[in-house]
């Protein structure tokens, strides 16, 4: 029972960190606040990183293995889900690498933030798209996991 509570707590922390990133990236940038906005996004990315690593590296890996064990006909779906996990990790790492560059750019162009506005807007948009992909992946894995256990396979001898 304690293990279930622990798992629920970790899941809640993952979702909260994901929501924090979505909120910080989706917050409109107020004139003169670009460095603060980037700092908040950076903190949200830092907070999400260990949770995302655990979710993909441990939770998804176990769930995908379970899908394969329960229904071997779902190999194609498992392969697609694994490929999406890999793409999410690569996009997240790329986002982590872009943040220091954007922070330096914001410092260089201050107080004329307009010069960095396009880059930060594109970054915010791509971050929000990544959050949506992560949520979609979570839903897809849960769906295929349930399907592996409940799918009608016809007459089985």
Query: What is the residue-wise DSSP string for 48-101?
Result: HHHHHHHIIIIIIHHHHHHHHHH-GGGHHHHHHHHHHHHHHHHHHHHHHHHHHH
Q: Which has the higher per-residue pLDDT, 149 or 111?
A: 149
Q: Is 156 a domain residue?
A: no
pTM of the model: 0.89
Instruction: Indicate the length of the chain as a whole number.
Output: 157
What is the total count of domains within the chain?
1
7: containing domain: 2-24+34-148
**Per-residue pLDDT reduced to its tens digit, 87-123:** 999 999 999 999 999 998 888 877 777 777 888 999 9
Q: Is 155 a domain residue?
A: no
Gap between the Cα atoms of 83 and 14, Å rounded: 21
Span 29-37, average pLDDT:
86
Q: Is 157 a domain residue?
A: no
């Amino acid at each position: 029972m304690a293990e279930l509570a622990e798992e629920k707590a970790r899941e809640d922390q993952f979702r909260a960190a994901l929501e924090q990133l979505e909120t910080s990236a989706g917050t409109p940038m107020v004139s003169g606040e670009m460095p603060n906005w980037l700092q908040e996004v950076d903190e949200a990315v830092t907070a999400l990183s260990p949770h995302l690593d655990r979710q993909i590296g441990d939770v998804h890996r176990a769930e995908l293995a379970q899908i394969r064990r329960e229904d071997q006909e779902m190999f194609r779906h498992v392969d697609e889900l694994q490929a999406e996990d890999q793409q999410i990790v690569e996009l997240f790492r790329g986002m982590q690498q872009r943040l220091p560059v954007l922070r330096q750019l914001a410092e260089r162009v201050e107080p004329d933030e307009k010069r960095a506005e396009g880059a930060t807007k594109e970054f915010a948009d791509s971050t929000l798209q990544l959050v949506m992909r992560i949520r979609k992946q979570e839903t897809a894995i849960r769906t295929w996991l349930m399907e592996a256990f409940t799918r009608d396979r016809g007459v089985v001898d």
